[in-house]
Structure 1
Amino acid sequence: MSSLRAKIQDVFKEPACEQNRGKDAKARKEGCSKPLTPGAAAGGCAFDGAKIVLQPITDVAHLIHAPLACEGNSWDNRGAASSGPTLWRTSFTTDLTELDVVMGQGERKLFKAIREIKEAHRPPAIFVYATCVTALIGDDIEAVCKDAAEKFGLPVVPVNAPGFVGSKNLGNKLAGEALLDHVIGTAEPDDAGPYDINILGEFNLSGEFWLVKPLLDRLGIRVRACIPGDARYFDIACAHRARAAMMVCSTALINLARKMEQRWDIPFFEGSFYGITDTSEALRQISQLLVKKGADPEILCRTEALIAEEEAIAWKKLAAYRPRLEGKRVLLNTGGVKAWSVVHALMEIGIEIVGTSVKKSTVEDKERIKQILKDDNHIFEQMAPRELYAMLSEHNADIMLSGGRTQFIALKAKTPWLDINQERQHPYAGYDGMVELVRQIELAIHNPIWRQVREPAPWDCQPAVREELPSTKSEAATLHAVQEFAGTMADDFGEC
């Protein structure tokens, strides 16, 4: 537990964190931790954050050392996609019971589970996750993993991020520390080259990275490791031989990028593959870093040629949507890198941003948003559901882009909504992804269902029914016959 405490303090003092860099020496020493309060990890605990970062390593067995409920449904973790192995979607848990806890059987049961996974699936590695229960009862997963690795002849990686130590974001960083301590640098590739890069903090949600990788392939740039999206264990073990790196989500893995630069001299930059301009800029910066590390400068010319070709195709496709979207108002309720990269992407085609959340965004992210929007009034740290509903119901926005948690606010306000978080069904990265994002926004805004649901309900607009007397003798006779028939039926069957 003392080693875990030291690791947490190290993460809190992360010097590459923009917020920490702005502090004086004394404040930086205290770190960026906040006192934990009940419910502080409601948005995701440290264990959840660690598993989010590591589970997309697709050929690895992920073993949760915990009671059954901690594992949950591994198919429902995130919308990350795999181009091959599906072992990462198989749920493995030691399923500790009360009797195991009382009798001290946790470590023995963990060792047995590792052996069963090795014999049944023969994965290249097994990741073992500590949880609240097993950390509190004192199970030494690091010792068990070391013993099992020696016994079975395969890497067994301890992930010491029990939920009670902090938030999901802390778990993200602790997962990066586990990769640094036990995986990266443990294997040597036989094909290292001057055009090898790492992509960090890219989760391949809905297969987004597959829209970007072909662009890099055309430039002759090889992705040595994409951490964690659609990754393989051996690729991550060889990641230290890359020449440069791109950081997609610094909130999650800035410590991993900085320490890889420190240990193996792999320079990195933070960029985005959302939007045409940002995608082009990311390709340029990758090429420039590779040239600084010794690659042939001619790659810069090839990069510009590729960018010119792809931008022309993308803008031509987007021109068809501009007349129906220009001037439309979007409320963006997300965070992290999407808070500024998606804003920039939408403004490129004439969409107005009426508000964007900066929750989970770094200080640097917030500064980028201010530079893009030129107005702090459109930036909010977080907005209560009541305020979101008021803004949408008053028609201050034509559509809301957010995660699934707030979709029902938009639906209640009878406002179009589009999912751009981890549960989304469509990839939005790269040039083709930007076209797809605009297409989905256009479909959502102009869907005829919204015109129908905004109309008054039929029972709210029924005309008043007036009781009129029969106007002719024939109508009076008919009415009299009906009344007599009704009386006969009542005599035959009685009253209900």
Structure 2
Amino acid sequence: MITEKNCNLKRLAELHSYSDIISPSAAIRRGMHCPLFGCSLLMQEMERTAVIILGTEECGFYSKEILKVANPRDYMKAPVYCYTLEESDIIFGCEKDLLLLIKEIEEKDRPDIIYLISTCVTSLIGEDIKGLICKAQVSANAVLLLVEADNFRQNSHVDGMSDMTAALADHMKSYKGRRQGVNLLGVREEDWKCTELGRYLTRHQIPVRAVLPGGASLDALYDAPQAELNLVVDAIGLKLAKRMETFGVPYQVFGKYADPDRIRKAYRCLEQLLQLEPDPEIERLADSTKTSWEQLRHLPAHARRVIYTNSPLIGFDTCLLLHRLGFEILACFTVSYNDFDRELFCECKASGMNPFMALLTDFNKTKELSRLLRPAYYIGRGYRERLEAMGIRMISPEDSPKENGFSLSMAMADYFLNVCADKACGDKAYAGNIRTAERRI
């Protein structure tokens, strides 16, 4: 029998800090959890940049495999290199050969930036990569940056992306003159000019100085501290924003929020910081988006029992909004530690909701919990056939717009409503869910 006692999960009320959210499984997941893979994926978005991975053959092999998934046509052209550490390197060091590799990469690819990615092996043997970079920088034309992407400190590919983005601050210069414009931090695959926020900045004639990490040219790094504000549009940019405060540049989070009131507050804060006139369009969009979400409040009670694992929106913000709309958040799995969710943890604690909380490990744990809790819907990616066999319908917005602000929030509200308001499917899912749960518990 599956019970709350043996499901090996804690509820929100039992957690004292965001870091208390842990995996219910003792096993370490293989694959995308490794910060190294986040570095490899982020390479797809960065121009005139090369990467050297210092690790085992497996580090290089799996990094190329990740690139193959992200860019199957041109992955072999990506300037990602692996310096495979041999026994002699571990005993005598790898400085001489690594300096030669840096020289060869400069001659072949002519990058502006070369990242040296330290892995578990270099951390274990205590290789002085920082000292090596100082020595290599004397003769190198490219800027050399270090990222320590090992699993001892973190267990998420998102952390690798965040650290790689934050390392850009190492080559920024202090600026004491008049500041103007904004930087966009955390921009990944989307064309920022076509997003709602990009259109807003263009409409108000706000210059964008640097778009990082994707536009990490040397000129962009030099100019970045001249901005009067950093706008953090993705969690991978938050660590860089905090480092840039030492240059005198404040930041504002402008992530993929679900809550229309939170989006409106972000715009109003932006107006104050940049001394802009209030934009009446913001109030209209906020009211329209709120109306879309409010329709979910009228769903039958059984259809408002959900397990949340993942969506394009910020996870905790989405759960908070659904909770206010009368949804019962039975469990909230976070795919990986996320700085945006971290900053909303205290608000979640004060909200009154009390879901099971955990880092997502494998589907078996979710399946056990689904049998116990009997949700109507599972929000996130999963094994659709297995969920439907238990009478649970999956809400997985795979083709969401590469957006932020009200545009994304309204699109998600409409998508949720279209799935949940399918009364026939909803009733069938709920009835089957009850029968399956009663048979198996």
With normalisation by structure 2, the TM-score equals: 0.69
Deviations 1:162-213 (A, max 9, x none): 4444444765665465333x22228x899x853x22344x353666885232
Cα distance in 1 for partners of 2:311, 2:344 equals 9
Is the CA contact (8 Å cut-off) linking 1:414 and 1:454 kept in structure 2?
Answer: yes
Question: Is 1:340 matched with 2:316?
Answer: yes
Is the CA contact (8 Å cut-off) linking 2:330 and 2:373 kept in structure 1?
Answer: no
SS in 1 for 2:111: coil
Deviations 1:83-129 (A, max 9, x none): xxx99981512342646647858434433332333223222211121
* Matched residue, 1:65: 54
Cα distance in 2 for partners of 1:57, 1:314 equals 34
* Matched residue, 1:266: 249
SS in 2 for 1:224: strand
The one-letter code of the counterpart of 2:308 is L
Question: Is 1:154 matched with 2:142?
Answer: yes
Is the CA contact (8 Å cut-off) linking 2:55 and 2:121 kept in structure 1?
Answer: yes
Cα distance in 2 for partners of 1:184, 1:87 equals 30
Is the CA contact (8 Å cut-off) linking 1:66 and 1:134 kept in structure 2?
Answer: yes
Structure with more contact order per residue of length (Cα contacts < 8 Å, sep ≥ 6) = 2
1:307: Cα distance to partner? 0.6
Deviations 1:294-338 (A, max 9, x none): xxxxx132xx3231343466568x48x948974542321249982
* Matched residue, 2:200: 215
1:267: Cα distance to partner? 2.2
Cα distance in 1 for partners of 2:192, 2:70 equals 9
Deviations 1:211-238 (A, max 9, x none): 2322222222333334435655542443
Structure 1: runs of 5 or more not aligned: 1-17, 21-30, 292-298, 457-496
Percent identity between the two aligned chains: 17
SS in 1 for 2:265: helix
Is the CA contact (8 Å cut-off) linking 1:399 and 1:416 kept in structure 2?
Answer: yes
* Matched residue, 1:378: 355
The one-letter code of the counterpart of 1:125 is I
* Matched residue, 1:204: 188
Cα distance in 1 for partners of 2:58, 2:400 equals 27
Question: Is 1:367 matched with 2:339?
Answer: no
Is the CA contact (8 Å cut-off) linking 1:41 and 1:166 kept in structure 2?
Answer: no
| CA spacing shift, 1:94–1:386, aligned 2, 3 Å | closer
Structure 2: runs of 5 or more not aligned: 1-15, 433-441
The one-letter code of the counterpart of 1:401 is I
SS in 2 for 1:61: strand
Residue of 171, 188, 194 corresponding to 1:183: 171
* Matched residue, 1:416: 393
* Matched residue, 2:107: 119
Is the CA contact (8 Å cut-off) linking 1:57 and 1:230 kept in structure 2?
Answer: yes
* Matched residue, 2:380: 402
* Matched residue, 1:3: none
Aligned residues: 398
Residue of 259, 264, 267 corresponding to 1:280: 264
Cα distance in 2 for partners of 1:314, 1:88 equals 43
Question: Is 1:244 matched with 2:229?
Answer: yes
Cα distance in 2 for partners of 1:102, 1:233 equals 33
Cα distance in 1 for partners of 2:272, 2:76 equals 35
Deviations 1:413-471 (A, max 9, x none): 35332446xx8764352222123223433455549999999999xxxxxxxxxxxxxxx
The one-letter code of the counterpart of 1:266 is V
Cα distance in 1 for partners of 2:176, 2:64 equals 31
Deviations 1:376-421 (A, max 9, x none): 33353468856643554578433222355x767635535332446x
| CA spacing shift, 1:358–1:162, aligned 2, 3 Å | closer
SS in 2 for 1:238: helix
The one-letter code of the counterpart of 2:348 is I
The one-letter code of the counterpart of 1:44 is H
1:78: Cα distance to partner? 12
| CA spacing shift, 1:111–1:413, aligned 2, 3 Å | farther
Is the CA contact (8 Å cut-off) linking 1:339 and 1:369 kept in structure 2?
Answer: no
1:152: Cα distance to partner? 3.8
SS in 1 for 2:139: helix
Question: Is 1:441 matched with 2:412?
Answer: no
The one-letter code of the counterpart of 2:183 is N
* Matched residue, 1:228: 213
| CA spacing shift, 1:428–1:248, aligned 2, 3 Å | closer
